[in-house]
Amino acid sequence: MRPYHHVPIVECGEQLVEIPLKLFAVESPHPYEKLGAPYGENSPYFLRESVVESLIEAQDYLQLLRPDWLIQIFDAYRPVAVQQFMVDYTFAEAVRMAGLTESEMSETQRQVIWEEVYKIWAEPSLDEKTPPPHSTGAAVDVTLVDNTGAIVNMGSAIDELSPASLPDYFANSLQPQAQQYDANRQLLCDVMEKAGFKRHPGEWWHFCFGDQMWAWLYNEAQPGNPVVARYGRLMSVS
């Protein structure tokens, strides 16, 4: 159980809608589809209707601060089957990068790697009370593209299994390059939060609006006025 899983879900029934990708930058083909993730007839470029509206607001705020810059959509709606695929893929990659083979790993080695994987990835739960955030259609992974079309350097890659994924990792550095990474992350956070999103405490790229994590973060900041989640797990794009 994550801390946000204790937040009740009162599903509002809002539909998933397609993100108007012409307003944003996007990686094509989708990075997880390239790996073979089983989206089936579902699309990763869908979100709940109000979440899409807020994402457009964030893009509008960005334009005011950085004309001709774009939010890049890395990932949005993610069926639980895709969550399972990516968790398994990340575990296998972490084993490979550690120079190990899964069949010869000790239980301790296996546990250490799984702990690293689950620092980034939510458990692919089928329990309606503990849905992975992306499976609700209320979470989106984003970065920025500048006015030349280049992806803005945030100091670490999306989904990177390292401490550099922490949003404030570069905040106290005296190195000019690190300070720029932090400023870039802060710009992304500022425009997303101005539109109502909350940032994942452990991932600079993950933002949510209306799911359990969003409600938990909202309640932590404003304990006197608690809210519940309004988006639960969705089975597929309708």
Q: Which residues are catalytic?
A: 203
For 218-227, b where at least 16 C-beta lie within 10 A, e where not — what string?
bbeeeeeeee
- Annotate 62-95 with DSSP letters as a single string: HHHHSTT-EEEEEE----HHHHHHHHHHHHHHHH
The letter for the amino acid at 198 is K
DSSP state of 9: B
Q: Give me 117's structure tokens.
A: 């994987």
Reported residue count of the chain is: 238
